[in-house]
Copies of this chain bind each other. A is one copy, B any other.
Amino acid sequence: MVRIAVIGAGRIGAVHAATVARHPDAELRLIHDPVGNAAEQLAAAHGARATHDLAEVYDADDVDAVIIGSPTPLHVEHLVGAVRAGKAVLCEKPVDLDLARVEECIAAIAGHEHRVMVGFNRRFDPSFAEIHARVQQGEIGPLEQLTIVSRDPAPPSPAYVAVSGGIFRDMTIHDLDTARFFLGDIVEVSAVGQRLDPAYAHLEDFDGAVTTLVAASGAVATIVNSRHCATGYDQRLEAFGPLGSLEALNQTAGSVRHSSATHAGAAGPYLGFFLDRYATAYRDELSHFVDAVRTGRAPSPTIEDGRAALVLADAATRSATTGERVLLPTTARSHP
Contact = CB atoms under 8 A, between A and B. Distances in A.
A109 to B, nearest CB: 35
**How many subunits of this chain does the assembly comprise?**
4
A212 B190 contact: yes
A222 B244 CA distance: 21
Interface string A256-289: 1111111111111110000000000000000000
Interface stretch (A31-39, A110-118, A223-231, A302-310): A223-231
Nearest to A251: B255
Contacts of A254: 126-127, 130, 248
A218 interface: yes
A183 interface: no
Interface string A182-226: 000000101010111000000000001010101000111010101
A231 B245 contact: yes
Contact of A263 (B149, B196, B267): B267
A198 to B, nearest CB: 10
A131 B208 contact: no
Contacts of A270: 264
Contacts of A324: 323-325
Interface stretch (A65-73, A139-147, A158-166): A139-147
Contacts of A260: 140, 230-231, 243-244
B255 A243 contact: no
A22 to B, nearest CB: 7
A195 B263 CA distance: 27
A218 B226 CA distance: 13
A291 interface: no
A220 B192 contact: yes
A237 to B, nearest CB: 10
Interface of A: 22, 126-127, 130-131, 134, 139-140, 144-145, 147, 149, 151, 188, 190, 192, 194-196, 208, 210, 212, 214, 218-220, 222, 224, 226, 228-232, 240, 242-270, 323-325, 327
11 contacts: A188-B323, A190-B190, A190-B192, A194-B219, A210-B220, A229-B240, A244-B260, A247-B265, A261-B269, A262-B269, A323-B324
